[in-house]
Amino acid sequence: MANNSQIAIYPGTFDPVTYGHIDIIRRAAALFDHLIIAVAPNRIKGPIFNVEERVDLLSATVSELSNIEVTPFSGLLMDYAKSKNANIIIRGLRAISDFEYEIQMAAMNRQLAADVETLFLSPTAEYSFLSSTMVRDVARHNGDVSAFVPEVVVEALAAKFR
């Protein structure tokens, strides 16, 4: 990869990865030379899948995209971005409720690394309501989540909640 290539990071918990995430990933992959999907542990949210499982599920769902790298990360995102020579952070915005938190996070990240920009992408309208939390809740109660997540994730959720 050339030194002047555009490297972007799309960080998140992805517990589980949804079609909304995949929509953002596909669109970001088309914009940048290299897209790193950085999977955070986020023990506060109490994920149902461990980091390795989430990396595997993401890798399976975006395997056809050649400029994607799926990796776990922990610590400060700006330190991770610097270690990967990334200059763009991708963040998804679904609704106005996401906006305040995301703007605060972008401002803090700018203080930590002024040379790394945050780019907000909104998912297509059909996924604008979708969250991993909602998918987990529906799956936990044996609801059909196949409209919201790829089949490999449907199967993984079913196995978790058996």
Q: Please indicate whether residue 21 is annotated as part of the active site.
A: yes
- Of the residues 5, 45, 63, 146, only one is catalytic, namely 45
Report the candidate in 145, 159, 9, 144 with the shortest Cα–Cα distance to residue 70: 9
The strand ranges marked E within 107-150 are: 117-121
Which residue shows structure tokens 């980091």? 51
Catalytic status, residue 83: no
Q: If you write DSSP's letter for every residue of 112-134 in order, what string do you get?
A: H-TT-EEEEEPPPGGGTT--HHH
- Is residue 74 part of the annotated active site? The answer reads no
The answer to whether 73 and 40 are in contact (CB under 8 A) is yes
* Structural contact between residues 118 and 81, judged by C-beta atoms closer than 8 angstroms: no
Catalytic residue among 34, 54, 91, 132: 132
Let me know: does 132 contact 13? Beta carbons within 8 Å: yes
Q: For tokens 């058996």, what's the residue?
A: 162
User: Angle CA(67)–CA(59)–CA(115) in degrees, nearest 5?
Assistant: 50
| Options 27, 94, 110, 160, the catalytic residue | 94
5 is a catalytic site residue = no
Active-site residue list: 21, 45, 94, 132
